[in-house]
Structure 1
């Protein structure tokens, strides 16, 4: 078995899910040829990355269609598919319709996990009830949330069925460590994993500052990694974290899949932490 398929995290209900997968934000939007993006996803699957995260928002469904093409021919039980519902669709009037549309685009009859993309005007209790109904009908195996802070999570867990939430997907990477102050430990106590989107940071000045830093390059050299692999290794060093780097090219996808579990030494992790420290006090969730 390859390294990518060995990485798993335990969920609150005792199930498990992969800790390393492929994100699809910005896929299906014409930034790259469609066949290139499909090949990137298929290369990750071939390398053992069974988790694919998507959303009805991404390309207004085009990312889900892309994933559907990429997974065609794979045994469904070998895959772990996650999608997300728009907040305005997360109530009795639209959640079932949105879910069925996502399933149709993906070419599957169930999701392994379905997430509320962020909080909106639909009452949270109504969304939870709809998620529970979808789970009872077998349309989803589990459900979770995205972009929820500690206050949101506390409220969620007071609701009927709220304790069945199995993940919180938030932005987290070496240059954005605010969740380490309060959200990450709060979730860890309740065995709710963090799904880290953009674990390699978005393109731009922040990412250039991270991959160009002396300590990141030193750690990369010590392991025969690229600097981007060091950023991913930093996120995976946290045992309760799932990483879903976006996968738009075959080369980068295979680089992600090649990062083993816990490759950093304790000292290397500490040095990276000193160079890019977490804030000392709680801060609002970052969103990129």
Structure 2
């Protein structure tokens, strides 16, 4: 029997809710493995109760969105929380609506629960926000947010009309990359804007030397019967207002991610990891991958 994910959600600024654990799809749909295997991984997560799936028009040039469309066929759309992202050069009056509708067609759905600006480009934020708000009014998206925006960008966003309607900032965040804890995370929390952590597993530890081999990580893993990568996910999920979207095309790894919510870290374990891989003591540029 596939284990079911515990009911664990965060509250959005508008009062709605969003699952705290989702499935990312970066690198899926690129032909690295048979699409049937990747679809099986997504469906394994869905069957285990993971309702959030994150993607982008950039991923596999729309291939990830098409893969999701195949994976979710037959599931209750209303129970899902689908997120996609628009290229910066498409995030204006000339192209945002067309990009959004293309994403919807690829996934075979009528609306997205969340639509994000993938990263900051040359189109003014005020124009992007205007288009996002129009998409909400048209019923094509429920909420909108941003991705890879740092403190300077977020402050600018808050100054434009309806910029405060932003619900999330999706950023790179993992045990080995904690710069957002210095300034961005507290700033967002104060405004009730959620953090979505992409690459919470540090791309299987590749983004920071020594993570998976750390004695502390392995000690915590042994205490829970976890793999080191499960410890990395548990570290991110220890913060109750952070959403994590680990990517996996392997059904077993998806279930390992699900298991983390049922066995959270203790405060002492979190403190030990914090000491082993401390956050910086000063603001640093936003880490991106």
TM-score, normalising length: structure 1: 0.97
SS at match of 1:84: strand
User: Given that residues 218 and 228 in structure 2 are in contact (C-alpha distance below 8 angstroms), is that contact kept between their aligned partners in structure 1?
Assistant: yes
Runs of 4+ in structure 1 deviating by more than 3 angstroms, as ranges, are 203-208
Matched, 1:263 2:264: yes
| Map of 1:65 onto structure 2 | 66
**CA distance in structure 2 between the partners assigned to 1:180 and 1:204 by the alignment:** 20
Counterpart in the other structure of 2:125:
124
| Partner in structure 2 of residue 190 of structure 1 | 191
Unpaired segments of 5 or more residues in structure 1?
Answer: none
State the superposition RMSD in angstroms: 1.4
Contact 2:69 2:106 in 1 (8 A): yes
Partner of 1:80: 81
Cα distance, 1:205–1:129 mapped onto 2, change above 3 Å = closer
Give 3-state SS (helix, strand or coil) of 1:133's partner: helix
In structure 2, relative to structure 1, the CA distance for the partners of 1:58 and 1:278 (3 Å cut) is same
Give the conservation status (yes or no) of the 8 Å contact 2:205–2:212: no
- Show CA shifts across 1:171-196 (max 9, x none): 00000000000000001111111000
In 1, the alpha carbon distance for the partners of 2:205 and 2:87 equals 27
Q: Deviations over 1:118-171 (max 9, x none)?
A: 010111100000000000010000000000111111111111111110000000
Structure-1 residue corresponding to 2:179: 178
- Find the counterpart in structure 2 of residue 243 from structure 1: 244
In structure 2, the CA distance between the partners of 1:205 and 1:26, relative to structure 1 (3 Å rule), is closer
Q: In the TM superposition, what are the counterparts of 1:203-242 in structure 2 within 5 Å?
A: 203=204, 205-206=206-207, 209-242=210-243
What SS does structure 2 have at the residue aligned with 1:56? Answer: coil
Residue range with higher mean Cα deviation, 262-271 or 14-23: 262-271
Q: Which one is further off, 108-117 or 215-224?
A: 215-224
- Does 2:121 correspond to 1:115? no
Stretches of structure 2 lacking an aligned partner (at least 5 in a row): none
CA distance in 1, matches of 2:218, 2:205: 18
Number of aligned residue pairs: give it.
288
**Residues 48-80 of structure 1, C-alpha deviations (whole Å, 9 max, x = no match):** 110000000000000000000000000111100
Tell me if structure 2 keeps the 8 A contact 1:22–1:51: yes
Task: Name the CA shift for 1:207/1:37 in 2 (closer, same or farther; >3 Å).
Answer: farther
